[in-house]
């Protein structure tokens, strides 16, 4: 069905359902129709707008903290999808199980437009509140779903095209949803496929920890897929099934009701421990190939040493930044504002948080504001707060702005170079008077905070172009620190080893192979320390005890760009990286007769990574 024909069909379905009270079966997808029915039964009115009460930043923060494990687990996928979202002018969104938006990354222009219909952190997009939409409907239906334009229940949401998939933990509980949303006027052909692949990765990663003391089966019909996101996983406590992934239940013709009720011998006849892949005789369905991991009973379950726990979660600074830390703390104690400059990923916020932690203000708030991420229409209200009734959609009792929330502590203004010019004047007055006047009136509020600003842009150039106030620059940049790029680090191999050791918390069973270390050290790391630490966290998650992580776990970019120059391949290395990468992918696909899975294995990368790269090539 062509796009025009489909749109006409959906509009016809809306007329029949909402105007004539008939079921437009065949004109709209069954999940969409079921959602419309649920919304209508709840008394939602398509003419108006949903009644939304956004959470303030201080209300959202504890909910984000409660979901920190999920947010940390999903971070690699959020960062990976960010590039696809920027290409298609979209955003990637993580919600909790109720549909509350926790995090949102992607195209800033779309984020600004999405804020017009309250698609932003702190807003609940559950179906019961915001009607038919990909997030809420995917959570209700417990299945991936795309909702385009007029398929949304509420009229204002017709500007959106959304694709979402629910995230289910190993015990079958909904923990959240991952969504990619963009403009309805743009075709988003692969959004649902990308989201589904990302959720598969996330749900597979749930099993990388917490199950050492249980019997774990990893299996598939195709032995080559064991160890990938396509494998089935069942976890048994003694003989009783306590956890599974969706592939495991599908391959054994079971469902979530099997948890807590079925036993190991009800699934397989010969599931004895063996870490070598072998045939498993299933009672239901086909014979499968699998590995059976016995519990590691010799492992003592004790709380981690404080140092090991700290090394896993504490952000890692470059040696140069570490050396500057005490100097900046002294400046902050003297109420001297500091400007931190560095490329994306060099650790500007990490540095600021460490300064706060080591200052006399550590017991008071650290308020971080990303001036580039907040939509221009909302940034003034978020920063300065507002009185009740200040504007349409304002919270009933007003809102305490982020500047006031930072009182007594440290205010960190990230990407200060992206702050709108009009707001720069208001910020300058606050810094001069130490007083905040909320939007819509009210009494001025005195504030006392230490200020750290950060940017990846050259503010002097912005001043010359008239995009940044010179007087504000002199106010915020009384001391400037430059964070170095990772590619300029003199001992990248030593740095890789140091960070890996800290992430492993002293566990010597988890290793990087010498070749993997070499390629990681040789890579240019355009995303700097953030990208390196994120990559090593991912590899640590994939690592198996006493089995060194090989180069097959690295991305195609790292494999191609990290080749060592030799007389034999110097000509190849002189070519642009993108061209070399394209040829490597093309050759692997040709050798695999177009089979993406086999091509990915040939390249030593994950299928979803190759799929995303191919999509980028197609769109360029």
Instruction: Look up the pTM and report it.
Output: 0.53
Q: Which CATH number fits domain 28-200: 1.10.30.50, 3.30.70.120, 3.40.50.12780, 3.30.450.40?
A: 3.30.450.40
End-to-end Cα, the chain, rounded Å? 26
Residues 6+ apart with CB under 8 A from 255: 249
pLDDT in tens, 259-307: 988 999 889 988 888 768 888 888 776 789 999 998 864 433 333 333 3
CA distance 105 to 78: 7
Where along the chain do the CATH 3.40.50.300 domains lie?
Answer: 319-482
pLDDT in tens, 582-604: 667 777 777 666 777 667 666 65
Pick the residue with more confidence: 545 or 148? 148
* Helix residue ranges, H only, 228-342: 246-251, 306-313, 319-333
pLDDT in tens, 428-456: 988 988 888 776 666 788 889 999 999 99
* pLDDT surpasses 80 at 380: no
CA distance 597 to 49: 45
- Where does residue 146 rank: exposed (0-12), middle (13-18), buried (19+ CB within 10 A)? buried
Class of domain 319-482: alpha beta
* Sequence-separated contacts (24+) of 534-541 with Cβ below 8 Å: 534/75, 534/76, 534/79, 536/496, 536/499, 536/500, 536/503, 537/76, 537/503, 538/76, 539/500, 539/512, 540/500, 540/503, 540/504, 540/510, 541/205, 541/208, 541/209
DSSP bridge partners of 81: none
Report the 10 Å Cβ neighbour count for 362.
Answer: 12
pLDDT in tens, 312-325: 334 566 666 777 88
Element (H, E) at 289: strand 288-293
pLDDT at residue 222, as a whole number: 86
In the DSSP assignment, the letter for residue 526 is T
CA distance 555 to 564: 17
pLDDT in tens, 153-173: 999 999 999 999 999 999 999
């Amino acid at each position: 069905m062509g796009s025009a024909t489909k749109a006409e069909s959906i509009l016809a379905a809306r007329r029949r359902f909402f105007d004539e009270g008939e079921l437009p079966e065949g004109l709209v997808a069954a999940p969409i129709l079921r959602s419309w029915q649920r919304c209508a039964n709840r008394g939602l009115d398509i003419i108006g707008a949903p009644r939304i009460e956004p959470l303030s930043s201080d209300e959202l923060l504890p909910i984000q903290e409660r979901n920190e494990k999920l947010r940390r687990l999903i971070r690699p996928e959020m960062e990976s999808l960010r590039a696809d979202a920027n290409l298609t002018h979209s955003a990637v969104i993580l919600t909790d199980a109720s549909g509350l938006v926790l995090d949102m990354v992607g195209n800033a222009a779309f984020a600004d437009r999405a804020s017009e219909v309250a698609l932003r952190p702190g807003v609940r997009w559950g179906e019961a509140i915001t009607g038919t939409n990909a997030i809420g409907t995917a959570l209700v239906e417990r299945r991936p779903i795309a909702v385009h334009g007029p398929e949304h229940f509420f009229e204002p949401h017709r500007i959106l095209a959304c694709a979402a998939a629910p995230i289910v933990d190993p015990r079958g509980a909904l923990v959240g949803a991952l969504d990619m949303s963009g403009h309805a006027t743009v075709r988003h052909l692969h959004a649902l496929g990308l989201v589904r692949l990302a959720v598969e990765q996330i749900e597979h990663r749930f099993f990388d920890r917490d199950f050492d003391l249980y019997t774990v089966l990893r299996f598939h019909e195709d032995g080559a897929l064991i160890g990938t996101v396509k494998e089935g996983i069942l976890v048994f406590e003694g003989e009783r099934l306590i956890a599974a992934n969706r592939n495991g239940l599908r391959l054994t013709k079971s469902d979530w009701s099997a948890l807590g009720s079925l036993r190991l011998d009800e699934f397989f006849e010969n599931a004895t421990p063996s870490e070598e892949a072998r045939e498993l005789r299933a009672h239901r369905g086909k014979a499968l190939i699998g590995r059976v991991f016995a519990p590691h009973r010799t492992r003592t379950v004790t709380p981690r040493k404080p140092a090991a726990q700290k090394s896993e979660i504490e952000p890692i600074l470059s040696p140069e930044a570490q050396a500057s830390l005490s100097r900046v703390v002294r400046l902050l104690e003297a109420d001297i504002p500091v400007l931190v400059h560095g490329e994306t990923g060099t650790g500007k916020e990490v540095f600021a948080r460490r300064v706060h932690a080591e200052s006399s203000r550590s017991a008071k708030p650290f308020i971080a504001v990303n001036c580039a991420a907040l939509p221009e229409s909302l940034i003034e209200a978020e920063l300065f707060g507002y009185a009740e009734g200040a504007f349409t959609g304002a919270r009933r009792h007003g809102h305490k702005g982020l500047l006031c929330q930072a009182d007594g502590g440290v205010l960190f203004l990230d990407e200060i170079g992206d702050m709108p010019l009009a707001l720069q004047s208001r910020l300058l007055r606050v810094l001069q008077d130490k007083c905040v006047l909320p939007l819509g009136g009210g009494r001025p509020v005195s504030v006392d905070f230490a200020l750290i600003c950060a940017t990846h842009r050259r503010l002097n150039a912005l001043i010359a172009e008239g995009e940044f106030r010179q007087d504000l620059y002199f106010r915020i940049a009384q001391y400037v620190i430059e964070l170095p790029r990772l590619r300029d680090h003199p001992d990248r191999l030593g740095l890789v080893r140091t960070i890996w050791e800290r992430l492993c918390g002293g566990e010597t069973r988890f290793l990087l192979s010498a070749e993997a270390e070499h390629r990681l050290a040789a890579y240019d790391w355009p995303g700097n320390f953030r990208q390196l630490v994120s990559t090593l966290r991912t590899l640590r998650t994939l690592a198996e005890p006493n089995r060194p992580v090989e180069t097959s776990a690295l991305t195609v970019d790292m494999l191609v760009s990290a080749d060592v120059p030799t007389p034999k391949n110097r000509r190849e290395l002189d070519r642009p990286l993108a061209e070399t990468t394209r040829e490597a992918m093309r050759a692997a696909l040709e050798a695999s007769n177009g089979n993406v899975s086999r091509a990915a294995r040939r390249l030593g990368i994950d299928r979803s990574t190759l799929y995303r790269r191919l999509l980028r090539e197609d769109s360029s």
